[in-house]
Structure 1
Amino acid sequence: MNREKRLELIKKIVDSEKISTQEELLETLKKRGVNATQATISRDIKSLGLFKSMKNGTKYYITPYKQKEAKKINKIQEAIHDNVTSVERIAWLNIVRMPLNSNYANALGSLLDTSNIPEIVGTLAGNDTLVIISKSEDDAAKIKQFILESIDN
């Protein structure tokens, strides 16, 4: 396999799986029929500009694009932690409450609307209440869980 195809494959692997070490990446490539050395993989990681991110105490490689997404998600999680007091799910909607007269619902709604989180169709905001609209009840349940985890962190 030529270098360009290998780099493209590495990007796909890193975007779809949590790869923590170069050894894991080598094994994953080997399973896909690509033989490479650790030195080659090291150069490929540098060439692609891969970064290590941490989630739930585990470090793993991400592409620069995914790093931007991760930073935005972290910003959303911090905003939820600092401002949200409760969340209630009703079918495919999540009703998110903030302290009275905090005027933060619009700002959080804007962050969520621009986040590209696939489970969010859109938001409606008042001063201290935000409605998050999802496509399905399953998507709404995932968003509620995300919000509860963000509040607890």
Structure 2
Amino acid sequence: MRKRERQATIQRLIQDEPIERQEDLVARLNELHIPVTQATISRDIKDMQLIKVPAGEGHYRYSMPAEKQLPATDKLRRTLITAMKWGEAMDNFIHLALLPGTAAAVETLIEQLDDQRIFATISGDASILIICRSAKYATAVLAELEAMVG
């Protein structure tokens, strides 16, 4: 299982169940036939920036931080509105021109979408190259990104 898929499963689990400890998370994932180690879960917790919140009666449970609870599309939209200058598609490629220093954040948000039309992304400081699986997908993805900006 890929990291992104595992972390999506972790997010669903902590939203649906009162997971208090890393060991509980390891056990639940193993029950779902997702073999993980304590070290992997520890890295995922750090990477996902999970926090512990009161769950009543002196117990705590894992939760997503407030910023992480927003859907990836909402975070991307909010970021693109202030960062995107323009975009252009050619064949199966999209070039996004952004404000300096914003490309890495935008690239991360695009990757969080886990859009199967996108093969890969490459970012610099102020631009991103999005490689789509077809020219048709590139046109559609660019149209969606431009619609987010308005």
TM-score, length basis structure 2: 0.51
* Partner SS, residue 121 of structure 1: strand
Question: What secondary structure sits across from 2:105 in the alignment?
Answer: helix
Question: In structure 2, what is the equivalent of residue 81 of structure 1?
Answer: 81
Structure 1 runs, 4 residues or longer, greater than 4 Å off: none
Partner of 2:97: 97
How do 1:34-53 and structure 2 match up within 5 A?
A: none
Partner in structure 2 of residue 26 of structure 1:
none
Task: Pick closer, same or farther for the CA change 1:69–1:131 going to 2, 3 Å.
Answer: farther
**Deviation for aligned residue 1:82:** 1.5
Q: Report the AA paired with residue 129 of structure 2.
A: V
- CA positional deviation for 1:114: 2.3
Matched residues in 2 for 1:140 and 1:70: separation? 25
1:110 deviation in Å? 1.2
Count the aligned residue pairs. 83
Which amino acid is the alignment partner of residue 149 of structure 1? A
Deviation at 1:146, TM superposition (A): 0.7
| Secondary structure of the corresponding residue to residue 113 of structure 2 | coil
Pair 149,122 (structure 1): closer, same or farther in 2 beyond 3 Å: same
2 CA distance for matches of 1:90 and 1:112? Answer: 19
User: Pick from 115, 136, 141: which aligns with 1:138?
Assistant: 136
Q: Which residue of 2 aligns with 1:108?
A: 106
Structure 1 contact 119–142 (Cα < 8 Å) conserved: no
Cα-Cα RMSD:
1.8
Please give the residue correspondences for 1:2-81 in structure 2 after superposition, counting only pairs within 5 Å. Answer: 71-81=71-81
Rounded to whole Å, the distance in 2 between the matches of 1:115 and 1:83 is 18
Structure 1 residues without counterparts, runs of 5 or longer: 1-67
Query: For the pair shown, which has the larger CA radius of gyration, 1 or 2?
Result: 1
User: Which of the residues 101, 123, 126 maps onto 2:124?
Assistant: 126
